Amino acid sequence: MKRSAPISVILLCALGLGCAGDHTPEGAAAGAAERPNIVLVMTDDQGYGDFGFAGNPVLQTPHLDALAAQSAQVERFYVSPVCTPTRASLMTGRYNYRTRAIDTYIGRAMMEPEEVTIAEMLREAGYATGIFGKWHLGDNYPMRAMDQGFEESLVHRGGGIGQPSDPPGGQGKYTDAVLFRNGTREETTGYCTDVYFDAAFEFMRRAASEGRPFFAYVPTNAPHGPFHDVPEDWLAHYTQTDLTAALADPGQASEQVLDRLARSYAMISNIDDNIGRLTARLETLGLADNTLLVFMVDNGPDRDRYNAGLRGRKGTVFEGGIRSPLLARWPGRLPTGGEPADRIAAHIDIAPTLLDAAGVEPPAGLHLDGRSLLGLLAGRHRRRDLVRPDALPAVPPRQRTDPPPLLRRGRPALQAGPPLAARRRRLERRTCPGALRPRGRSRRKP
Ligand SMILES: [Ca+2]
């Protein structure tokens, strides 16, 4: 084989154009009678190093550490460098550039409503579907979560509480936040992360009592800023803790930097409390064994801080900006305690994985870029190639790199240079011309 041939294979596979069967269920798909419940938790701006199990020297995350020990993991799991692109890929199983969701603001966070979401696919198969937290793929019909397959929704608008899309009276409050339940303004009581999890618990209980399997999506807006309103008990803890070991540069240990770090960590430890409440609640409801619980983050940390030795942070395509833990707990179905899978995977794989677990086929004709990870999580490794398509013309400048493409092929990493970038542009023009153009026809939605 010529030297150049594998590169084309990589690109074709990564663009989903040369890997027939990538999303073919490869795990032991569940039968209709034993369909698992699914809980997907994704936090906002929590970095790869913001966990006790990642070696963080000061951060307290005992419940997430316990969950990691009970989970199958993928060590090199990749997301996008900012919020919305990750959410679009997570919801669709497709590269975000196909979905029009390419950045977080000025209209670039509105996902093409014809995209078919995992919530739509699972709802069509009989699942109760609920979202509790951050959607960030469009605030108006027909782009809201409630228009995109979620029967139950309790969400904030835009990219976060405290942003311009906040409703009157919102005032950027994380405590007693003004949210939207199924499209209707609602003044909630308590800290927002606690409110989301409480709403998810009630949704789970109700679905279980009705005998329906459920898909609960809990994308918290914490530990994303603003930072003026964080859990006070944890803030007191971290204010009294020496945090210098968690600074990217101990020489920057100013009062302001340490205060900011304490506030991020306070929100993260509160998330951890809620993970503890979640696992306890699943036990109480008798659902723990038949629930696939997945945990991940949406992008790297928002500031430089301890990041397990990875370079970069949110907004960069260095490892520290795009790597997330992937924890998947499904007792009796996925192994625990083993070495994390060492092959690459990404956010585009989550929707195919959930479909596989539920034994649900995607609609005919729908192209998914990702593949099910059930085999990988169970220790069956397959060669895998991925690409971050940063060189497309519409990629926002802050997500570009020079040289642009980040490729990973199997175990070794390849950092591609300009000759490959030119090759790839030619290939993309030839093979993926419609990725960013208006569609000539709509697909049937389930
Ligand atoms: Ca984010």
Is 313 within 8 Å of 270 (Cβ atoms)?
Answer: no
Going from the Cα of 156 to the center of ligand 1, the distance in angstroms, rounded, reads 14
Q: How many A from CA of 65 to the centre of ligand 1?
A: 22
Cα–ligand 1 centroid distance for 189 (angstroms): 24
Residue 28, pLDDT score = 37
Distance CA 108, CA 333 (A): 39
Question: Average of pLDDT values for 4-30?
Answer: 32
Per-residue pLDDT tens digits for 224-247: 999 999 999 999 999 999 999 999
CA of 314 to the centre of ligand 1 (A): 7
What is 195-207 written as a DSSP string? HHHHHHHHHHHHH
Residue 14 above 50 pLDDT? no
* CA distances (Å), origin 18, targets 3, 6, 170, 213: 18, 12, 48, 34
Distance 47 CA to ligand 1 centre (A): 9
Vertex 388 angle, CA 385 and 392, to 5°: 130
pLDDT at 413 over 60: no
Of the listed ranges 130-144, 304-318, 391-405, the least confidently predicted one is 391-405
pLDDT of 265 higher than 70: yes
Q: What does pTM read for this prediction?
A: 0.85
Question: Cα(278)–Cα(61) distance, rounded to whole angstroms?
Answer: 14
Please give the mean pLDDT across all residues of the chain: 84
Q: Ligand 1 centroid to 83 CA: how many Å?
A: 4
Q: State the distance from the centre of ligand 1 to the C-alpha of 3, rounded, in angstroms.
A: 38
Residue 2 token pair = 């010529």
Domains, the chain, ranges and CATH? 25-380 (3.40.720.10)
- Between residues 292 and 318, the one the model is more confident about: 292
* pLDDT(34) > 70: yes
pLDDT of residue 122: 98
* Distance from residue 28's CA to the centre of ligand 1 (Å): 33
206 band by pLDDT with thresholds 50, 70 and 90 = very high
Ligand 1 mean position, distance from CA 158 (Å): 12
What's the 171 CA to ligand 1 centre distance in angstroms? Answer: 20
User: Does 302 score more than 80 pLDDT?
Assistant: yes
